[in-house]
Amino acid sequence: MSSICAGHVSFAAIVVALIVGIGTHICADEAKVPQSDSQGAESRPTLTIDEARRHAKLLHTTIHSTLRVVHDRYYREDEALPIPAAAMGEIFRDIESMEHVRLRWLAVDGQAMNTDHVAQGEFETEAVKALKAGKLFHEQVTEHTYLRAAPITLSNHCLKCHMPDRKSTKDRTAGLIIAIPIGQ
């Protein structure tokens, strides 16, 4: 394994530890649901809407910053490495598995690089409209879930793929959807 590739693996491990650690730190002093005698495992904390909103904002900032840093400092197009947003899909799966928080990229401006990133359903369609209009975020609360979509900046180096026929290098927008379970 090359040192660059090993660096990517180590960096990804650090990012997962950082994101999970932040979530654990935030939840550490929150009330726990009593554990079941049959399971013996610690239950997930029940979050309020305000707590979920705060967690989603922090998680969005962490992921947006991580994507930018990894793309700027570690990604080299000519080295046949996976693009950082795709590699972060592994991190998203880990977070969902460990923390029950779902994360998903959302195509807003430009070309979706993966059909999974196209808006699905009413919330995501409305989120695309809101983010295109320059809103800082779009949210929805359902009975068991807090949903938040917020912008991810597509800067000049992103536009080669996302907007190959562009006439300008001005920043464009993608989105990140965060779904956090909340109490009833």
d(CA 152, CA 169): 16
Task: Label residue 3 by pLDDT band (50, 70, 90).
Answer: very low
What mean pLDDT is reported for the chain?
Answer: 77
* The pLDDT value given to residue 153: 84
**Degrees to nearest 5, angle at CA 51 with 133 and 63:** 55
d(CA 76, CA 83): 9
Q: Give per-residue pLDDT as tens, 80-119.
A: 777 888 889 899 999 999 999 999 999 898 777 778 889 9
Lowest mean pLDDT among 34-38, 46-50, 158-162: 34-38
Greater model confidence, 31 or 128: 128
| pLDDT of residue 34 exceeding 50 | no
Mean pLDDT, residues 155-180: 73
Greater model confidence, 54 or 18: 54
Residues 6+ apart with CB under 8 A from 26: 54, 55, 58
Highest mean pLDDT among 41-55, 61-75, 146-160, 162-176: 61-75
Task: Label residue 39 by pLDDT band (50, 70, 90).
Answer: very low
d(CA 163, CA 148): 25
Q: Lay out the sheet containing 102-106: strands in order across.
A: 102-106, 172-181, 145-154, 138-141
Q: Give per-residue pLDDT as tens, 56-91.
A: 999 999 999 998 888 878 777 778 777 888 889 899
pTM attached to this predicted model:
0.73
Ramachandran angles phi, psi of 155, nearest 5°: -85, 180
* The pLDDT value given to residue 26: 46
Tokens of 110: 């430009």
Tokens of 36: 């079941």
